[in-house]
Structure 1
Amino acid sequence: MNVSLIGKIKRGIKEICSATSNNSFPAVVDNPCWGLPSQCSLSDLLRCFEKDKVVVYETDHFLALNKPPDLRMDGHHPSTVLKLLTYWYPPPAFQNLQSKGLLEKVSEFENYRNIEGNELRPCHQLDYATSGILLVARNRQAADQARVSFEERSTRKTYLALVHGHLSVPSNIPVMRRTDIDERMGRLEEIYRQSRRKHRKDTYRGYQPAHGLFQQLQQQHNHILNLSWKEVKASGKTEPFDRAAEVFNKLQYKTLFPEDKSAELSLPTFFRDESEDPNTLFIYASVAQVPHDFAMRINPSMSNASAYLKVGDSSLDYKPSLTRCVILKHAAIRGQPVTKVRLEPRTGRRHQLRVHSALLGHAIVGDQTYKAPGSPDLTDRMCLHSQCLEIPLFEELIKVEAPDPFLVKNREILVQHL
């Protein structure tokens, strides 16, 4: 299947999902760059990728994978990281099974917790479309060690990406000192943590769930609402009360918590570190997730920052997010200009690198969610790759790397699937 046809299929899937208000379609469906939707079972995955190329680091405590692109972590899907690992590293109960029997047994499972005796635990997540380093613990002690390192942010992740167009650092962006950057970012995160401790947006005094509003109305107008909430739910007529509760709580929250202390401390959206190379810049933008929606939202204060990123409302939980971007090479794919960049997330938010790249006006090549309308489909995969992970484990700094899949030859980039 050629690149343009795959692009059309993925665009069509995205349009179907965005047009479906009841969320009955998943945001991402199995359409891997390494196989057709009808050919992405576990056996197909095993034929495409060899263990000695996928497993790049192995000890008694940890595995590090070079995760293929377009592969989910777990779930009911035909092929997942969980199923691949369980086939290669079967728990004791499976070890006597022959190859075919093992394949059939592993293919049944959706979650690693459902496999008796399986101690493999992914230590972090990678998006379906993202390739590269994924750390997996082989026992509970190792999983606890990794969890502490990620929670304390003593890890360092480095990604490679291809973005549309020839990206350059604007000459007029603010230049800041390293100490000021670290201090402001630390304060922004502390303010965010304090706000979460003081009042979660679904538990603050005065918050009303839909059934709470219904009960108040029923008490005041029992001659009209002569039903119980249980009967309303059974009839499927809760939507008006859900909408009313959402509006009520937004107004209530603004009234109770009008002050945004982070605004005066906020970093510029784009800026440079005065001590760094001129080809390096930072992107700062807080992002929020909407339940049952795949695309992340940017803060309403950034409504003019991008014409095609989704802007949220003031009620969402916006998390401060910072990314370091290093411009490596201007090149081309199929004659179209692209830039190879190194991205370092200083915070770990969902879709952070994808949203921040789009904010620059240079979305990641192959990103069907955040690309600008009309952008050409240059590849059959999203060009975001987790190249390196440095993490302290058992009092030792571990560094694992995956090969670069975006090779430049005569200013043309050759995109590899692994």
Structure 2
Amino acid sequence: MEPASLENLCVLYHSANYIVVNKHWDIRIDSKMWYEKQTVQSQLKHRYPELADPYTYYGFRFCHQLDFSTSGALCVALNKAAAGHAYHCFKNRLVTKAYLALVRGVVTEEKITLDFAIGKNTTEGKTHMMCIEGNEGCENPKPCQTELTVLEYGAYDGDPVTKVLLQPLTGRTHQLRVHCSAIGHPIVGDYTYSLRTDDAPYRMMLHAYFLHIPLENEPIHVIAPDPFVPSLDSKWAPQRCVNILEDLLKNILSKPQAEIQEDPEPVHRSSSYPVESEEQQAQCQQWLCEWNLD
């Protein structure tokens, strides 16, 4: 993908109810800051001004979150009813997500279930970070599970790395980044969770590759093309394939979702008032934060 601009929004799926975009890396979904002109919100308004909803703060209802540094599949609801149907799928643990990542070092085990409770880091200078239970300053840790499967071994810019598929079984802020760092294999280009040492790559190598939302009347099944291939990044040199990505996706879809995930607080909506109240916006934002998986 080329760097983000207002014009180059990549749409993977579009219907009367939903749009799924391939979000660029290093771009926010939305922002209240006047100086941040380039967001997914502004890209959508530029491409589809007629679809913006004046009764919502941002104009569009984002069904889940992706971090600033993460690229990949992001679903947007185009009306209140569609947002409610998507919310139902997330609340009932029916949504399936899978991410691609390049991580530092050689992950020796072919498949690992990462099981570290994650909480907010209250240590001075690290309050923007999350950390695993047992670390000093870890506040209110919650159970978290991620399944990691090795895809390929290789090198990035001459250093050993492993290409992996990450399936979050829970939804916690920075979950995938924290879990990879916790086992000594931080994501390539993750400046924050490499303790500010990994700053050479042009981006963080985490990508929301697969999204499946089993909506009753309109199931969404989207793949955002793999950006971690030598033809797009010559610094990535795969050397040995361990698992085939397409086969892993078939296995993922056949499994039930994990029961450990906590239910988000329900968002109560009134059909009598078209404008969302501040309380509704706050409740919705709290739910979205629980799905900021990267």
* TM-score past 0.5 threshold: yes
Secondary structure of the residue aligned to 2:56 is: helix
Counterpart residue number, 2:201:
379
Shift in CA distance, 87/374, structure 1 to aligned 2, threshold 3 Å? closer
Secondary structure of the residue aligned to 1:407 is: coil
Counterpart residue number, 1:297:
131
2:119 partner amino acid? A
How far did 1:397 drift? Answer: 3.3
Tell me, in whole angstroms, the C-alpha distance in 2 between the residues paired with 1:164 and 1:123: 31
Tell me, in whole angstroms, the C-alpha distance in 2 between the residues paired with 1:358 and 1:163: 9
Match of 1:317 among 136, 140, 144: 140
Summarize the alignment of residues 7-22 of structure 1 with structure 2, pairs less than 5 Å apart: none
Aligned residues: 230
Counterpart residue number, 1:113:
56
TM-score normalized with structure 2 length: 0.71
Counterpart residue number, 1:133:
73
How far did 1:93 drift? Answer: 8.9
How far did 1:295 drift? Answer: 0.4
Match of 1:155 among 83, 95, 99: 95
Counterpart residue number, 1:188:
none
Counterpart residue number, 2:45:
86
Verify: 1:397 aligned to 2:219, yes or no: yes
Tell me, in whole angstroms, the C-alpha distance in 1 between the residues paired with 2:230 and 2:162: 11
Secondary structure of the residue aligned to 1:318 is: strand
Summarize the alignment of residues 245-394 of structure 1 with structure 2, pairs less than 5 Å apart: 279-290=110-121, 293-300=127-134, 303=135, 311-313=136-138, 316-371=139-194, 374-375=197-198, 377-394=199-216
Counterpart residue number, 1:68:
24
Tell me, in whole angstroms, the C-alpha distance in 2 between the residues paired with 1:163 and 1:142: 36
Secondary structure of the residue aligned to 2:140 is: coil
Secondary structure of the residue aligned to 1:389 is: strand
Tell me, in whole angstroms, the C-alpha distance in 1 between the residues paired with 2:119 and 2:52: 42
Report if aligned partners of 2:22, 2:71 keep a CA contact under 8 Å in 1: yes
Tell me, in whole angstroms, the C-alpha distance in 1 between the residues paired with 2:235 and 2:149: 19
How far did 1:334 drift? Answer: 1.4
Once the two structures are superposed, residues 295-329 of structure 1 have per-residue CA deviations (whole angstroms, 9 ceiling, x without a partner) of 002212xx4xxxxxxx434xx22110000000011
Once the two structures are superposed, residues 165-209 of structure 1 have per-residue CA deviations (whole angstroms, 9 ceiling, x without a partner) of 12111xxxxxxxxxxxxxxxxxxxxxxxxxxxxxxxxxxxxxxxx
1:360 partner amino acid? I
Report if aligned partners of 1:112, 1:121 keep a CA contact under 8 Å in 2: no
Runs of at least 5 residues in structure 1 that lack an aligned partner in the other structure: 1-32, 35-43, 95-110, 170-278, 304-310
2:25 partner amino acid? P
2:201 partner amino acid? T
Secondary structure of the residue aligned to 2:229 is: strand
Once the two structures are superposed, residues 62-90 of structure 1 have per-residue CA deviations (whole angstroms, 9 ceiling, x without a partner) of 00010000000111222111111111111
TM-score normalized with structure 1 length: 0.51
Report if aligned partners of 2:6, 2:38 keep a CA contact under 8 Å in 1: no
Percent sequence identity over aligned pairs: 39
Shift in CA distance, 138/92, structure 1 to aligned 2, threshold 3 Å? closer
Counterpart residue number, 2:250:
none
Tell me, in whole angstroms, the C-alpha distance in 2 between the residues paired with 1:128 and 1:404: 18
Shift in CA distance, 132/297, structure 1 to aligned 2, threshold 3 Å? same
Match of 1:122 among 56, 62, 67: 62
Report if aligned partners of 2:155, 2:237 keep a CA contact under 8 Å in 1: no
Counterpart residue number, 2:6:
46
Tell me, in whole angstroms, the C-alpha distance in 1 between the residues paired with 2:40 and 2:51: 19
Question: What is the alpha-carbon root mean square deviation over aligned residues?
Answer: 2.7
Report if aligned partners of 1:366, 1:381 keep a CA contact under 8 Å in 2: yes
Counterpart residue number, 1:258:
none
Structure 1 or 2: larger helix share?
A: 1
Tell me, in whole angstroms, the C-alpha distance in 1 between the residues paired with 2:66 and 2:45: 18
How far did 1:57 drift? Answer: 0.4
Counterpart residue number, 1:215:
none
Larger radius of gyration: 1
How far did 1:362 drift? Answer: 0.6
2:43 partner amino acid? L
Report if aligned partners of 1:323, 1:353 keep a CA contact under 8 Å in 2: yes
Tell me, in whole angstroms, the C-alpha distance in 1 between the residues paired with 2:216 and 2:224: 22
Tell me, in whole angstroms, the C-alpha distance in 2 between the residues paired with 1:374 and 1:167: 20
1:389 partner amino acid? L
How far did 1:360 drift? Answer: 1.2
Shift in CA distance, 138/384, structure 1 to aligned 2, threshold 3 Å? same
How far did 1:45 drift? Answer: 1.1
Shift in CA distance, 90/319, structure 1 to aligned 2, threshold 3 Å? same
User: After TM superposition, which residue ranges in structure 1, 4 or more long, deviate above 4 angstroms?
Assistant: 372-375
Match of 2:11 among 40, 55, 69: 55
